[in-house]
Amino acid sequence: CTSPAERICMGSVRWGFRCGSWTPSRSEWLFAARCVQQEEKDRIGQFVFAKDAKSAMAGRLLLRKFVCEVMGIPWSQIRLNRSPRGKPYLAVTTGSDPPWSFNISHQGDYAVLAAQQGMQVGVDVMKTTLPGSNSIPEFFRIMTRQFTAHEWSTIQSAGSERQQLAAFYRHWTLKESFIKAIGTGLGFNLQRAEFHLSPELLTQGKVLRQTKMHLDEEPDDLWIFEESLLDVDHHVAVALGPADEAGSAKRKPLVLLVSSSQPLPPPAAFTLLSFGELIASASPLTEEDAAYWDSFRMKAEAPQRQKDT
């Protein structure tokens, strides 16, 4: 089963949208703004830079597309809330069996969505970028406490400085995907989750599932991690774990991740959507607000440092 439709049937959705190359027209931006909840529109409008506003808008549209097309809730009836830790969830559950879990991430040039039926899911995407005014060794020194000795050994033995930086962001996406899946936010000590990378080389067009996590210094077989490259600069990691692990990182008795009648589908690559596909099922929720476009077009694309990088 390799087609997106077949994967949805098997309870696995992986979608992405390249915000970095999206230059919305007036009609596109105003239509997108009409298709998200008012409070989401207001929050997106507060971003200083166009890059961040586009990423946030794409993330909300990905969520609504998923809920509408996969979960079967009409666009106008979708109500998304945020947990105290900022994780999006449906205000009204659908009673689907097994239930869906979904998560989004946006950073660099992409917004991504991962959803899984019967499992808890977290996703994170990161672009390999130079650390601003700091040298790479200085950047690593500042980030020392975020990784274990084993992880630093893996990162610093990756090869050139650029390869070390890529290994750093690979570890970072793994940690963030797990934290987002369990919903603990900034209070989680990142050194509790140590990752032992797949021996297989991570390359574009391939999804790896061999990386293992040690939680509190013990191997943890309850969680599965999928890793892939959206392009040469963007790592993405998906964390999949038992649904009852949400909100907790404590060790629990081993449970089946999925039933024997519904084996975990093969790892799914991210399908990159066009803007037309992103809004294919969208319907307006509010009236057009011309001033929203005027505000957006006045924004600089990104901070000067990001442009230079």
Q: Are 1-117+266-309 and 119-257 in the same CATH fold? A: yes
Domain residues of the chain, as ranges? 1-117+266-309, 119-257
What was the pLDDT predicted at 10?
66
Full pLDDT tens readout for the chain, 309 residues: 445 555 555 689 999 999 999 999 999 999 999 999 999 999 999 999 999 999 999 999 999 999 999 999 999 999 998 877 677 788 876 666 788 999 999 999 999 999 999 999 999 999 999 887 789 999 999 999 999 999 999 999 999 999 999 999 999 999 999 999 998 766 788 899 999 999 899 999 999 999 999 999 999 999 999 999 999 999 999 999 998 654 444 443 333 344 434 567 788 899 999 999 999 999 999 999 999 999 999 999 998 765 544
Condensed to tens digits (0 to 9), the pLDDT of residues 76-111 reads: 999 998 877 677 788 876 666 788 999 999 999 999
- The CB-based long-range contact list for 226-232 (8 Å cut-off, 24+ gap) reads 226/267, 226/268, 227/170, 227/173, 227/174, 227/198, 227/202, 228/202, 228/267, 228/269, 228/270, 229/202, 229/203, 229/204, 230/16, 230/110, 230/112, 230/125, 230/270, 230/272, 231/109, 231/204, 232/204
- In whole angstroms, give the CA distance from residue 209 to residue 60: 27
What was the pLDDT predicted at 295?
98
- In whole angstroms, give the CA distance from residue 16 to residue 110: 7
- Work out the angle at residue 146's Cα, subtended by the Cα atoms of residues 163 and 138, and round it to the nearest 5 degrees: 55
What was the pLDDT predicted at 244?
67
What was the pLDDT predicted at 262?
56
Written as one letter, the residue type at 215 is L
Q: What CATH superfamily is the domain 1-117+266-309?
A: 4'-phosphopantetheinyl transferase domain (3.90.470.20)
What was the pLDDT predicted at 82?
80
What was the pLDDT predicted at 39?
94
| Residue closest to 309 by CA, chosen among 132, 178, 184 | 132
What was the pLDDT predicted at 249?
46
CATH 3.90.470.20 fits 119-257, yes or no: yes
